[in-house]
Structure 1
Amino acid sequence: MKLHEGDIGKTYIVYSVMVKDAITRRLEALGVNEMTPVTLLNKKGSGTVIIKVRGTRLALGRKISEGIEIKEETGHE
């Protein structure tokens, strides 16, 4: 599922990041990498999502959040 489709308050694992290379590099610098847990804190009507990753809160626009594939954290990883 895409990041913007997740449920508020749940923690997910980043499965893949499919956005422009420059954005991918910036996200990696901020800690949003494959296999990284992220918690979805809030979703706005415009499609913006607020996530918590590695102790930092980030706001991502809809186009970026549509390019981030996530899966539910199962606790076995």
Structure 2
Amino acid sequence: MTLREGTIGNKYQVKEIQLEDKVKRRLQMLGMTKGTGVQVLNNKKSGSIIMKVRGTRFAIGKRIAEGILVEEGAYEQ
């Protein structure tokens, strides 16, 4: 499933990032890599997604969220 399909309050683990290299590198610099835990804090179906990665909150657009593949699972943050 993609991060955009995530439910508010649920925790996920990043499986793969399928975005253009420039965006992918930027997310990696912010700490989002394969295996990283992500918690969805707010998911507006018409717009941005607010998430928590490694203790920091980020907002991303729906196009980017659709390129991040995740699987549901517990993780420690």
TM-score, normalised relative to structure 2: 0.91
Which consecutive aligned stretches of 4+ in structure 1 deviate over 3 angstroms post-superposition? none
For 1:52 and 1:26, how far apart are their aligned partners in 2? 16
Aligned-residue identity in percent: 47
Contact (CA 8 Å) 1:4, 1:47: kept in 2 or not? Answer: no
Consecutive unaligned residues in structure 1, runs of 5 or more? none
The aligned residue for residue 67 of structure 2 is 67
What stretches of structure 2 of length at least 5 have no aligned partner? none
Contact 2:51/2:57, CA 8 A, preserved across alignment:
yes
CA contact (8 A) 2:6 2:43 kept: no
Q: Which residue of 2 aligns with 1:39?
A: 39
- CA offset at residue 46 of structure 1? 2.4
Q: Report how many aligned residue pairs link the two structures.
A: 75
Aligned partner of residue 63 in structure 1, secondary structure: helix
What TM-score, normalized by structure 1, do the two folds share? 0.91
